[in-house]
Amino acid sequence: MGNEDKKPLADKPVFEEGKQYHIECKPGDLSGPVLLPGDPERAKRIAETWDDFHDVAGHRQYYSYTGKVHDVPISVTSTGIGTPACEIALTELMNIGCDTFIRVGSTGVIQPGIELGDLIINTGAVKMEGSSKYYVPESYPALANYEVVLALIEACESLGFRYHIGIAASSSSFYLGQGRPGYRNYKISKTELIVPDMQKMGVLNFEMEASHIFTLASIFKGRAGAICAVYANRVTNEFGVKGEREAIQAANYAVKVLSEIDKDKREKNKKNWYRNI
């Protein structure tokens, strides 16, 4: 095979050995479920909580590490902010063989009874973003995988963390798209209704990535979930950077639980996991 056969193509920018253009990882570089923070610095902080880890790649906002936690393989790749950045990360991670993903992020809640630093486990998301429409119709649901949700619940229960379960709204806009004022307190009537309408629908929180992560994982037979620390409370109008450490610990523990679920399915030849009665 000549060198010309190894050149990347404009519609598939992949290099030798399957190395992906944006995340700069190739098959075999990452092992185990992949945690997905938006912030590259959070990706490093996550890796530093593991039993051991090593740096794999760092390009633009995509920083990847792999290692072990609770004696099982685990990886992390930062996605940057928003669903366009997530589309790149998820597509290239799936290209190199990854199939289980847990978003580890921050969020703002819109329902009463939730405190700063609490954790939110999302079972699904309202698609208030512009990426999913290129993959699925608007009516296609953005759902978390039930095994990942159960693993996150078990993690929070085992670690004694306060958590809440429900639906997120994934917005491609941080300010007006989540009902906040923009520059010079700019608002329009449409954006004034976003928070009260979502509250009536029982939506728990706003964030910016989960719906597309859930959608892509569903299409391609992967598993995805999300756990976020509450930084903003739109009911009390409080803001504080709290709960990141707990969200990371819960995600790490959930990877351990998922390894046990997968082992149980293999040993008992189960297609779907359920607790033996």
C-alpha distances (whole Å) from 250 to each of 142, 178, 201 are: 22, 26, 27
Q: What is the pLDDT of residues 119-176, one digit of tens each?
A: 999 999 999 999 999 999 999 999 999 999 999 999 999 999 999 999 999 999 999 9
Is this model's pTM higher than 0.85 or not?
Answer: yes
pLDDT bracket for residue 2 (50, 70, 90): very low
User: CA-CA distance, 187 to 238, in Å (whole number)?
Assistant: 20
Q: What is the pLDDT of residues 167-208, one digit of tens each?
A: 999 999 999 999 999 999 999 999 999 999 999 999 999 999
pLDDT bracket for residue 6 (50, 70, 90): low
Task: Tell me if 63 is assigned to some domain.
Answer: yes
C-alpha distances (whole Å) from 229 to each of 91, 135, 250 are: 25, 28, 11
Task: Tell me if 8 is assigned to some domain.
Answer: no
Instruction: Give residue 45's domain range.
Output: 19-264
Task: Tell me if 6 is assigned to some domain.
Answer: no
Residue 174: burial class (beta carbons within 10 Å; 0-12, 13-18, 19+): middle
Instruction: Specify the number of domains making up the chain.
Output: 1
Report the number of secondary-structure helices (H) and strands (E) in the chain.
Answer: 7, 11
User: CA-CA distance, 128 to 138, in Å (whole number)?
Assistant: 10
Question: In sequence order, which residues have a C-beta less than 8 Å from that of residue 217 and are 6 or more positions away?
Answer: 90, 99, 101, 145, 223, 224
Task: Tell me if 270 is assigned to some domain.
Answer: no
- Block residue for tokens 């479920």: 33
Cβ atoms 66, 86 nearer than 8 A: no
Catalytic machinery residues: 22, 92, 180, 234
Check which CATH number belongs to the domain holding 118 and give it: 3.40.50.1580
Q: Which residues pair with 125 in a beta bridge?
A: 142, 168
**Structure confidence at residue 3 (pLDDT):** 43
| Residue 127: how many other CB atoms lie within 10 Å | 25
